[in-house]
Amino acid sequence: MTEVFNAKIPSICTDCNAVTYPPQGFCHSCLSENTEPIPLPLSGKVMAVSQIHHSFEVDIQPHLPLSLTSVALTSDTVVFGLTKENELQTGDKVSLDVQSWPFGNLLTARST
Ligand SMILES: [Zn+2]
C-alpha cells in the first residue's frame, strides 16, 4: 500500500513575516502561532536536483524517473518540489504549486 503524501506548504508569520518550512504550527523566528500558508504558486530558483530512478512504491514506479528539486524562494528559505522535468538545472527559475499525483498531493516544480 502506497503512503499518501501531503504537500508541506511553507507558512508565513502574520506578526513578523518570517517564512517557516516545513510548517510547524508556529513561527521559527518569533514563536508566534499566528501563521498561515503562503499563497500559491511560489516562485524561486533551483538550488539542486536529484533524480529518483527507483521506488518500492508501486504507484510511484510508473512515473519514474522523477526529480526532487530544492528551490530557494528567498536567501534563507529553501523548499522541496517534485517534478517530471528531468532537464532542470541549478539556477533555473521555477514555479511551485500543489499537484495531485497518484501517491498524494505534493509541491511540484515547473520551469518558467
Ligand atoms: Zn514570526
In the predicted structure, residue 103 carries a pLDDT above the cut 60: yes
Share of the chain above pLDDT 70, in %: 96
Centre of ligand 1 from the C-alpha of residue 19, in Å: 8
The pTM (predicted TM-score) of the whole model is 0.86
Centre of ligand 1 from the C-alpha of residue 35, in Å: 8
Centre of ligand 1 from the C-alpha of residue 7, in Å: 22
Residue 43 exposed, middle or buried by CB count within 10 Å (0-12, 13-18, 19+): exposed
Q: Which residues surround ligand 1, an ion (CB under 5 A)?
A: 13, 15-16, 18, 27, 29-30, 32
What are the backbone angles phi and psi of residue 93, rounded to the nearest 5°? -90, 135
Centre of ligand 1 from the C-alpha of residue 50, in Å: 32
Centre of ligand 1 from the C-alpha of residue 12, in Å: 8
In the predicted structure, residue 78 carries a pLDDT above the cut 90: yes
More confidently predicted of 79 and 57: 79
Centre of ligand 1 from the C-alpha of residue 78, in Å: 17
Beta bridge partners of 48: 70
